[in-house]
Amino acid sequence: MNFCTIRCCICESVLLNLPEEEISRLNGLTFRCESCGQKLLLDGTNVSKDMSADATYNLHKYDLNI
Ligand SMILES: [Zn+2]
């Protein structure tokens, strides 16, 4: 099983370290970097700054301890 490490595009800290399957299931969700507080949108195996301001705030907290 291939693990995929997703890093914050701002501060490079590790956001997620999950199998590729799991990453693909999380596609399109929004995360918050715990180091720099930036909201990040997961797009495939990349993250980008989430530009959607306050309106649709669907922050997803993912439990890393699986
Ligand atoms: Zn960060």
Tens digits of per-residue pLDDT, 11-21? 999 999 999 99
Residues 6+ apart with CB under 8 A from 20: 1, 2, 3, 4, 45
Specify the pLDDT at position 56: 46
Could you list the beta-strand ranges (E) of the chain: 3-7, 14-19, 30-32, 39-43, 46-49
User: Rg of the chain's alpha carbons, rounded to an integer?
Assistant: 11
Total domains in the fold of the chain:
1
What is the Å distance from ligand 1's center to 12 Cα? 6
- Kindly state whether residue 66 falls inside one of the protein's structural domains: no
- 14 lies in which domain range? 3-49
Q: Residue 4, class by beta-carbon neighbours within 10 Å (0-12 exposed, 13-18 middle, 19+ buried)?
A: middle
- Kindly state whether residue 63 falls inside one of the protein's structural domains: no
- pLDDT tens-digit profile, the chain (66 residues): 899 999 999 999 999 999 999 999 999 999 999 999 999 999 999 999 988 755 444 555 555 554
Amino acid, res. 5: T
What is the Å distance from ligand 1's center to 2 Cα? 24
What is the Å distance from ligand 1's center to 11 Cα? 4
